[in-house]
Amino acid sequence: DAGITQSPRHKVTETGTPVTLRCHQTENHRYMYWYRQDPGHGLRLIHYSYGVKDTDKGEVSDGYSVSRSKTEDFLLTLESATSSQTSVYFCAISTGTGDTEAFFGQGTRLTVV
Amino acid sequence: AQSVSQHNHHVILSEAASLELGCNYSYGGTVNLFWYVQYPGQHLQLLLKYFSGDPLVKGIKGFEAEFIKSKFSFNLRKPSVQGSDTAEYFCAVLLSGGYNMLIFGAGTRLAVHP
């Protein structure tokens, strides 16, 4: 498996609280992605990064922010968690060159109560 | 907006039946195409990928897919499914025109029964 670690793996939080999820890679890949997975919706792209301090919005970015201060870490922050953000969050990495694919982390199950 | 459509949300098959899962995308530029599989409780794993060359690509576990550029399609096939193929399957498109945005379809949940 590619060197991707997501933390925490499980979290329960209250509505209105801030939450930060971390994705850490040891592969030195340029591209990093955050997705949420919900039944019937597949994986929807939240934000992605194409380099240190270079990020862009995905399909469902409202209510989320990201930061990438170094190559290996990509943080996803819910500034004020809502119940609609209860989901499984996956991080992915990719070199973005050649014929390489994206590799996925194990996921973080977030429950907002 | 760019999108990926998977036509079947749930598919139920008997062992040894043939499988075809549809995938269409809407994007006029250069794309790279993928099929991923997610077994229950696990993360996504790559089945196969298309970047260029032969539009018929073969992947792991006997899966193959055909890229038809004129139809914006990348359908997944397997001649004979097994119970171990029970999983959720996702089509994904890498949009290479900008910053390598990678988007997924909604997934197809496959159940294979004896």
Alpha-carbon distance of B54 to B46, in angstroms, equals: 19
- A101/B49 Cβ within 8 A: yes
Mark A7-19 as b/e (b = at least 16 C-beta within 10 Å): eeeebebeeeeeb
Angle at B36 between CA A75 and CA B91, to 5 degrees: 95
Chain A residue with Cα closest to B53: A99
- B107/A94 Cβ within 8 A: no
Q: Give me the pLDDT at residue B98, please.
A: 61
Tell me what the mean pLDDT of segment B3-12 comes to. Answer: 92
Question: Measured between alpha carbons, how far is residue B23 from residues A38, A42, A107, B111 in Å?
Answer: 19, 13, 25, 18
Tell me what the mean pLDDT of segment A38-55 comes to. Answer: 92
- Split at pLDDT 50, 70, 90, the class of B2 is confident
Please enumerate residues of A whose Cβ is less than 8 A from a Cβ of B: 31, 33, 35, 40-45, 48, 50, 54, 56, 58-59, 90, 92, 94, 96, 98-99, 101-102, 104-107
- Split at pLDDT 50, 70, 90, the class of A1 is low
> Under a CB-based contact definition with an 8 Å cutoff, are residues B5 and B23 in contact?
yes
- A42/B104 Cβ within 8 A: yes
Phi, psi angle pair for B83, to nearest 5°: -60, -30
pLDDT in tens, A8-43: 999 999 999 999 999 999 999 999 999 999 988 889
DSSP B47: E
- A101/B34 Cβ within 8 A: yes
Residue B15 tokens, joined: 């062992």
DSSP string, B23-77: EEEE-SS-EEEEEEEE-TTS--EEEEEE-SS-SEEE-GGG-EEEEEGGGTEEEEE
- A99/B102 Cβ within 8 A: no
Residue for token pair 């039944």: A39
In this predicted structure, the answer to whether residue B22 has a pLDDT above a threshold of 60 is yes
Q: Give me the pLDDT at residue B97, please.
A: 64
Of the candidates B81, B84, B90, the one whose C-alpha atom is nearest the C-alpha of residue B44 is B90
pLDDT in tens, A62-94: 999 999 999 999 999 999 999 999 999 999 999
Chain B residue with Cα closest to A31: B100
Q: Give me the pLDDT at residue B83, please.
A: 96
Phi, psi angle pair for A44, to nearest 5°: -115, 130
Burial of A26 (0-12, 13-18, 19+ CB in 10 A): exposed
- Split at pLDDT 50, 70, 90, the class of A2 is low
What's the start-to-end Cα distance of chain B, in Å?
41
Q: Is B83 left (phi over 0), alpha (psi -120 to 50) or beta?
A: alpha
- A99/B32 Cβ within 8 A: yes
Q: Give me the pLDDT at residue B29, please.
A: 83
Using an 8 Å CB-CB cutoff, list chain A residues near B104: 35, 42-45
Match domain B3-113 to its CATH number in 2.60.40.10, 3.40.50.970, 1.10.3470.10, 3.30.43.10: 2.60.40.10
pLDDT in tens, B41-81: 888 999 999 998 999 999 999 999 999 999 999 999 999 99
Domains of chain A: 4-112 (2.60.40.10)
User: Which residues make beta-bridge pairs with B5?
Assistant: B24
Chain A residue with Cα closest to B48: A101
Please enumerate residues of B whose Cβ is less than 8 A from a Cβ of A: 6, 9, 32, 34, 36, 43-46, 49, 51-52, 90, 92, 94, 99-107
Q: Give me the pLDDT at residue A95, please.
A: 86
